[in-house]
Amino acid sequence: MVDITATGVIRHSADNELKRNQQRNWETVLQCIGIKAQPQHIDGPYVIEDTEVDATSHFPEIYHGRQRCWVFSFGVEHEDVFLRDEDPVGALDEAFSKVPIICGLEETTRFMLPIFYPYGSIKNIYFIKGRINLNTV
């Protein structure tokens, strides 16, 4: 649910502050993944408008209603590099837990804390292991 738009803007100026901050969040994502593995074959991120957040979604109900979500996929060389205690993405969740983000960009929700948080009632990011066709998300 965090705006991770990859704008390619790497220098700050007054007229591109929004795009620079979106790129900063995307760079943070890549750095967090890079703690355990080098991401390859990156597809996205893409924004999905009007994602319905309800009891059946991956996000908690505090973000109820239609929300804007960003999705991406990536590959790594070693299959179980993110395995932690039987959770195939547990180490990835740990790498993202409490990492600062820039809020107030183009996301449609407000976060209690300006951090990535992959757990519980304030979850704002989640990961799924496996091959996913982003055209069907």
Residues 64-121: tens digit of each pLDDT = 788 899 999 999 988 899 999 999 999 999 999 999 999 999 999 999 999 999 999 8
In a domain, 137, yes or no: no
- For 39, the domain range is 14-132
pLDDT for res 66: 85
- The distance from CA 46 to its chain's CA centroid, rounded to whole angstroms, is 11
Strands (E), 19-86: 40-53, 65-75
In a domain, 115, yes or no: yes
In a domain, 1, yes or no: no
pTM for the full predicted model? 0.88
Domain tally, the chain: 1
In a domain, 3, yes or no: no
In a domain, 109, yes or no: yes
Collapsed DSSP state (helix, strand, coil) of residue 95:
helix
The continuous run of DSSP H or E covering 69 comes out as strand 65-75
In this model, does residue 133 exceed pLDDT 60? no
In a domain, 4, yes or no: no
In a domain, 7, yes or no: no
In a domain, 6, yes or no: no
d(CA 30, CA 122): 22
* Strand pairing class (65-75; 40-53): antiparallel
d(CA 17, CA 61): 31
Of the candidates 77, 99, 87, the residue with the CA atom closest to the CA atom of residue 127:
87
